Amino acid sequence: MNTKGLVGIILLFVTTQAFAAVGDYTETACTAEYFTINNCNLCFEGTSLSVGDKIDGLYDTWTNNNSTEQLIYKDEQMLPEMVPLSPGTVFTANPLDSTAFWKYGNQVIWTDSVIKAGSQEFMLDAGKSVKFLEADIGASYTLASTDKADGELVGVLKIPLAYHNIDIDGNEGVKEIQTECVSYTTKVAATTVAAPIEIVTPEPPVMTPVPEKMTTVKTGSESLIFMAFALLIAAGIVIARNRKVQ
């Protein structure tokens, strides 16, 4: 299963402070221990994952809401990382190399810095936005295993960005770091309700009554006795007639 997890992290910078709004994610306080130990200063609730689920389609949009430019140096940037929250939780990255996983957006054109020798820089004009960072095509994180129970936190995706504000006189400010964090939980398994089993008792078979016998056919010895008796009666009648004739 693919999870479109951080589709559109939008970093909004004003003066010396950075803000963000994340796609469909809900912003939450960064007071939980797993946020504080990862130095998160802007936090969101991510999606729920089952073992085998992938998080892909990730990108980060940088928006400068200042009235002056903002400046970033390429060698000051740290790439995002997925941090598991238990010894039994494993996230796999494809590709494994973070420099192959992440790439800078097409609009981010690095130039040699005129201020910081040997570095490359990118200047974002006031009021402008740019897709700063995105996962390469096919790049994804997969929850390979976890010892966490359903609904518990399994990992935090950290997305840092280092930047410098430029004041109205063109002076470069100190480096500031915005660390945005998105937490992921294990998916709560759906409860399966067993359908009740209906036991059907079969009805007893209907017995067809057998009609009583109207006549009885006599056979065997009963027939012989009847015939003998009839012969005796006939013989008696004959004898009685003969006597009358004499």
Domain ranges in the chain are 2-186
Q: Residue 235 region, left (φ>0) first, then alpha (ψ -120 to 50), else beta? A: alpha
Q: Specify the residue for token string 């939008």.
A: 10
| Model-wide pTM > 0.85 | no
Res 10: pLDDT: 47
20-24: Cβ within 8 A, 24+ apart:
20/178, 20/180, 22/180, 22/182
3-state secondary structure of 196: coil
The reported pLDDT for the residue numbered 231 is 72
- Predicted confidence at residue 180, as pLDDT, reads 87
| pLDDT reported for residue 160 | 92
- The CA angle 105-107-109, to the nearest 5 degrees, is 95
pLDDT for res 57: 87
Q: What does the pLDDT look like over 158-195, one tens digit per residue?
A: 999 999 999 999 999 999 998 989 999 998 766 555 56
Q: Show the low-confidence residues of the chain (pLDDT under 70).
A: 1-24, 189-202, 204-226, 228-230, 234-246
